[in-house]
A and B are shown apart, each in its own frame.
Chain A
């Protein structure tokens, strides 16, 4: 589904991603860990095609199409969808209207979908105007439900969300990734039914309680390292912090990295 080869990305003159290789097959959910400023969000923004992120080297293939330099809307139409962390308010644009437009010509049951994320009473409000953290997440999920992407990019689904909302958001994210499951179904069946892939950034790991995540990796200073089961990575980070990753990455590259320096640089 998604294939990233030796991706280098600059923000302005600063190289933020320094050679990312990552493949996410159909139906797989990939979890990205890493300290603040390591480049996780940059990777998501680059995949979506935001203007400020310049690819200086490497390639992004989605469904076999080279989208490295494709405009955002082409990526969206190809099937990439993103949940924004801090989406802008657009005055005069009603949430319900935007959800309808997310269908890209397909008829969308706006009311029905809104009910699922308990968002019906927001449909007549301007998009993102005065939304709380949980409301933003629900609105983003609602738009993604209408958009039906094949690859979902989700930046910190748990940030700014209370526990009750987290459960709703977690369940909805799972439904987006796994599809609606029949009452009795084997794992194998579930996998074949749903081909949606996911790339999720998380710090706290709360989302892991809801979605079936297959693989995870740590991003550090613009590079990926330490591939493992997401749960194991999370356990490790909560015990040892990111120091271990640092050591691991240093030995791999023969490059001396220091956490303190690194934090300062960003």
Chain B
């Protein structure tokens, strides 16, 4: 894989004007966002945020107990957010993290206040509209004691935006008894370099459900979000569905560290390549008991490409229960024949099995988003993928 040269992207000149009403976006942009799981015309959202190019352009909370701010405003208002700012991600981790530290374009600060259960999802879009730009954002999510929130974040580039890069720092704090569902859908272009750097910390009885969907091409994506469960009874779960057509290079994984008793971790990834490269990492570490974790990386190679599964377990104490299951394979002839005996031809049978394979049940998704994902998966066979 060729190295990403950050110098070739512009980090300034991408200012965009505020957009009061997101439904005024152009139909093309709306469509791109729709494929990233964001429907800006929906009104049943607890709040919404949008960052375009180098500027936050929209920020609205429609519910009590829910705070949504542009990160720059939040830093100003809360004296630099000393509890949360650069606490979980090391700014010297690599050149991308450093670049995001040096140039801050924006990002969101989203907080569910103690005891508030936010029923509707919060919607966030990070959008690159113009060619040649590098976008650096830094997001902070805080779920206070006993609060609940679901964030759906869609990241996309505009149609025709060439040579773009996205760097995103995200720090998640789920406090005692809080619950965060975080669903991220990527709709980059085959010319986008993507470097999210995310980490989260969970207190006692906190729950973090993370869903990640990548069904569209991307030039080069690398991420390895890490959650640390420091409180007793905390639960973390990652579900990922990743498809890499030819030209995509995806290095993606999830890391969970169990530091407290009665913690649980689950990482499930389904990867499919039709010519691209997928490096599918997974790590569960346990330093306290009782602790249970299960890691599952399943990959399917259809017609070409590479899947490199790297599941890791690291336990430092007697009594932990960790397991992993990794598989890279092809579609079993037996399954194809079973469906052909019901009248499907070979292509239909293959597509049905692939859809099943990618059909990870993600928790907490609004039905219309699940339907949109299902639709995209079912469209895979119609297009270039199969």
Contacts and interface: CB of A to CB of B under 8 A. Distances in A.
B337 A90 contact: no
Contacts of B326: none
Contacts of A147: 342-343
Interface in B344-379: 344-346, 349, 352-353, 355-360
Contacts of B41: none
A188 interface: no
B316 to A, nearest CB: 33
A143 B340 contact: no
A73 B346 CA distance: 8
Contacts of A104: 342-343
Contacts of B353: 90, 93
B343 A51 contact: no
B352 A101 contact: yes
B76 interface: no
A76 B342 contact: yes
The dominant DSSP class at the B interface is helix
A175 B3 CA distance: 66
B332 interface: yes
B335 A88 contact: yes
A51 B338 CA distance: 11
Interface string B317-346: 000000000000000111101111111111
A93 B353 CA distance: 7
A261 B353 CA distance: 42
A262 interface: no
Contacts of B360: 92
Contacts of B332: 88
Nearest to B270: A92
B344 A101 contact: yes
Contact of B342 (A49, A51, A92, A143): A143
B218 to A, nearest CB: 23
A126 B356 contact: yes
The dominant DSSP class at the A interface is mixed
Interface string A230-252: 00000000000000000000000
Nearest to B360: A92
B356 A91 contact: yes
A92 B355 contact: yes
Contacts of B356: 90-93, 126
A98 B349 CA distance: 11
Contacts of B352: 90, 93, 101
Contact of A73 (B334, B345, B357, B359): B345
Interface string A70-90: 011100110001101001101
A82 B342 CA distance: 8
A102 interface: yes
A249 to B, nearest CB: 31
A90 B338 contact: yes
Given A51-B333, A73-B345, A93-B352, A87 B338 contact: yes
Interface string A202-225: 000000000000000000000000
B343 A76 contact: yes
A95 to B, nearest CB: 11
Interface residues of B, number: 23
A92 B344 CA distance: 17
A48 interface: yes
A69 interface: no
A91 B356 CA distance: 6
Chain A contact patch, size range: 20 to 34
A71 B340 contact: yes
A102 B342 CA distance: 6
B335 A72 contact: no
B343 A50 contact: no
Contacts of B355: 92-93
Nearest to A126: B356
A107 to B, nearest CB: 15
A92 B359 contact: yes
B334 A88 contact: yes
A91 B334 contact: no
Contact of B340 (A73, A81, A90): A73
Interface in A131-163: 143, 147
B362 to A, nearest CB: 12
B290 to A, nearest CB: 26
Contacts of B339: 90, 98, 101
A72 B358 contact: no
B342 A71 contact: no
B340 A72 contact: yes
A99 B344 CA distance: 12
B359 A98 contact: no
B341 A76 contact: yes
A101 B351 CA distance: 13
Contacts of A72: 337, 340-341
B148 to A, nearest CB: 26
Contacts of A82: 341
Nearest to A144: B342
Contacts of A87: 338
Contact of A88 (B338, B342, B343, B357): B338
Interface of B: 332-335, 337-346, 349, 352-353, 355-360
Given A93-B355, A147-B342, 20 more contacts: A48-B341, A71-B345, A73-B344, A73-B349, A76-B342, A87-B338, A88-B332, A88-B335, A90-B335, A91-B356, A92-B355, A92-B356, A92-B359, A92-B360, A93-B356, A98-B342, A101-B339, A101-B342, A126-B356, A143-B342
9 contacts: A71-B345, A71-B346, A72-B341, A76-B342, A88-B332, A88-B338, A92-B355, A101-B343, A147-B343
Which 4 A/B pairs are nearest by Cβ-Cβ distance?
A: A92-B356, A92-B359, A93-B356, A72-B340
